[in-house]
C-alpha cells in the first residue's frame, strides 16, 4: 500500500492489562476507531506507544494486530527505534516482511551522538528495506538534531526517504526544509500545539498525540487548517476549535506526555491511564491539574462537524 503523508496519522498508544501485559484486543479496536474517524495511517511503537519498554516479540505482535485490524484500509508505519543499529535494522526488515507500508525512523536511543554517527545509523535503516520512510527529528526528547542541511543530504542519498516528522518546536524549520528541498520531502508536524502554525508554514501532515482521545476533533482541526491555508476555509471555526483544543494539545509537549494522553483516553472511555515502568501514573497536584484540564475541555467541547 502506498503511503499518503498528507493527513492525520496517530502515534498510537499501547494499552496494558493490570498484569502489565498488552491488551491486544483493545489495540485492534483502537486502531479501527482512529481510522473510522478519518486518520490516514497509524504509527505503532513510537515514543507515545511506549516503544522503549516493549520487547521485540511484543512489537511484532502489535504490528500483526494493527495489520489485521486496519492494514487493508491504511498504511501501518511503525516507529523504528532501538538501542543498537543492528536491532533497528532487524525491526525495519521485520516490519517489511510482515507487510507494513512504511517506517518512522528515529535517531539512536539513549546515545546522543554527532552527525557522522547519526547519519550512519539512519543510512543503515534506510538501506535495509525498500519501504518509504519518515525521518523523526525530535531534539528536545533525543538530544540529537537533524538540521535542515543534514535532512537534505539524507534525502539526496535515499530515494525512499519521503518525509520528515519535525518536532523541534520551531516552525521555522518547516520553511527552512522547504527552501532546501521544495516538494522533495513531505513535512509533518510532530508537536500537537504547533499544528496550525506548522500547516500555515507549509507542513502537509500531522503525527498526532491527542488524536488518541479526540480523533474526530483532530481530523477536523487539521482539515480546517489546510483549508484556511488555501484560502478556502472557515477561519473563525478554526480559531474556535484550536482555542478549545490547545490546553489539551499542550499535554503532548511535556515529559509526561504519555501519562497525560493516556489519562485523556481514560476520560473519554477509550483506554486506560496505566503505563509501563519506568513511567508511573500521575498523582497529587499533577493529576488534579490534568483532570481539571480534561474535564473542562469535555464540558466545553464544540460540536464536531460531520
Compute the distance between CA of residue 164 and CA of residue 104 in angstroms, rounded to an integer.
9
The distance of Cα 209 from the centroid of its chain, to the nearest Å, equals 6
Residue tagged active-site, from 136, 143, 262, 296: 136
Three cell numbers, residue 146:
537533524
Q: What b/e readout covers 262-299, taking b as 16+ CB neighbours within 10 angstroms?
A: bbbbbbeebbbbbbeeebeebeeeeeeebeebbeebee
- Active-site residue, 136 included: yes
Three cell numbers, residue 50:
511506549
Residue tagged active-site, from 15, 24, 59, 165: 165
- Active-site residue, 165 included: yes
User: What single string gives the DSSP state of each residue in 43-106?
Assistant: B-SSTTTTGGGS-HHHHHHHHHHHHHHHTTTS-B--EE--SSHHHHHHHHHHHHHHT---EEEP
Could you tell me whether strands 8-10 and 79-80 are parallel, antiparallel, or unpaired per DSSP bridges? unpaired
DSSP character at residue 193: G
DSSP character at residue 135: E
207 is in an annotated binding site: yes
CB of 3 within 8 A of CB of 77? yes
Work out the end-to-end distance of the chain between its first and last CA atoms, rounded to an integer number of angstroms: 27
User: What single string gives the DSSP state of each residue in 200-269?
Assistant: HHT--EEEESGGGT-HHHHHHHHHHHHHHHTT-S-HHHHHHHHHHHHHHHGGGGSTTHHHHHHHHHHHTT
Binding site, annotated residues for pyruvate: 207
For the annotated catalytic residues, the residue numbers are: 136, 165
Amino acid at each position: 500500500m502506498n503511503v499518503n503523508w498528507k493527513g492525520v496519522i496517530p502515534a498510537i498508544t499501547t494499552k496494558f492489562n493490570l498484569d502489565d501485559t498488552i491488551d491486544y484486543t483493545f489495540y485492534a479496536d483502537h486502531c479501527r476507531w482512529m481510522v473510522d474517524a478519518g486518520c490516514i495511517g497509524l504509527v505503532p511503537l513510537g515514543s507515545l506507544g511506549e516503544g522503549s519498554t516493549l520487547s521485540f516479540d511484543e512489537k511484532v505482535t502489535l504490528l500483526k494486530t494493527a495489520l489485521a485490524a486496519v492494514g487493508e484500509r491504511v498504511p501501518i508505519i511503525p516507529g523504528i527505534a532501538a538501542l543498537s543499529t543492528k536491532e533497528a535494522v532487524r525491526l525495519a526488515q521485520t516490519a517489511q516482511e510482515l507487510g507494513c507500508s512504511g517506517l518512522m525512523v528515529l535517531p539512536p536511543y539513549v546515545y546522543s551522538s554527532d552527525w557522522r554517527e547519526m547519519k550512519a545509523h539512519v543510512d543503515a535503516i534506510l538501506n535495509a528495506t525498500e519501504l518509504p520512510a519518515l525521518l523523526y527529528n525530535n531534539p528536545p526528547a533525543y538530544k540529537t538534531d537533524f538540521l535542515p542541511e543534514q535532512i537534505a543530504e539524507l534525502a539526496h542519498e535515499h530515494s525512499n526517504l519521503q518525509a520528515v516528522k519535525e518536532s523541534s518546536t520551531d516552525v521555522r524549520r518547516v520553511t527552512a526544509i522547504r527552501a532546501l528541498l521544495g516538494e522533495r520531502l513531505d513535512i509533518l508536524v510532530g508537536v500537537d500545539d504547533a499544528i496550525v502554525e506548522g500547516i500555515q508554514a507549509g507542513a502537509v501532515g500531522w503525527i498526532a498525540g491527542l488524536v488518541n482521545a479526540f480523533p474526530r476533533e483532530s481530523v477536523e482541526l487539521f482539515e480546517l487548517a489546510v483549508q484556511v491555508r488555501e484560502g478556502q476555509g472557515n477561519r473563525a471555526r478554526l480559531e474556535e476549535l484550536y482555542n478549545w483544543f490547545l490546553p489539551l494539545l499542550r499535554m503532548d509537549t511535556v515529559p509526561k506526555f504519555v501519562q497525560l494522553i493516556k489519562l485523556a483516553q481514560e476520560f473519554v472511555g477509550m483506554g486506560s491511564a496505566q503505563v509501563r515502568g519506568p513511567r508511573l501514573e500521575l498523582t497529587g497536584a499533577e493529576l488534579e491539574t490534568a483532570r481539571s484540564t480534561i474535564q473542562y475541555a469535555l464540558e466545553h467541547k464544540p460540536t464536531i462537524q460531520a
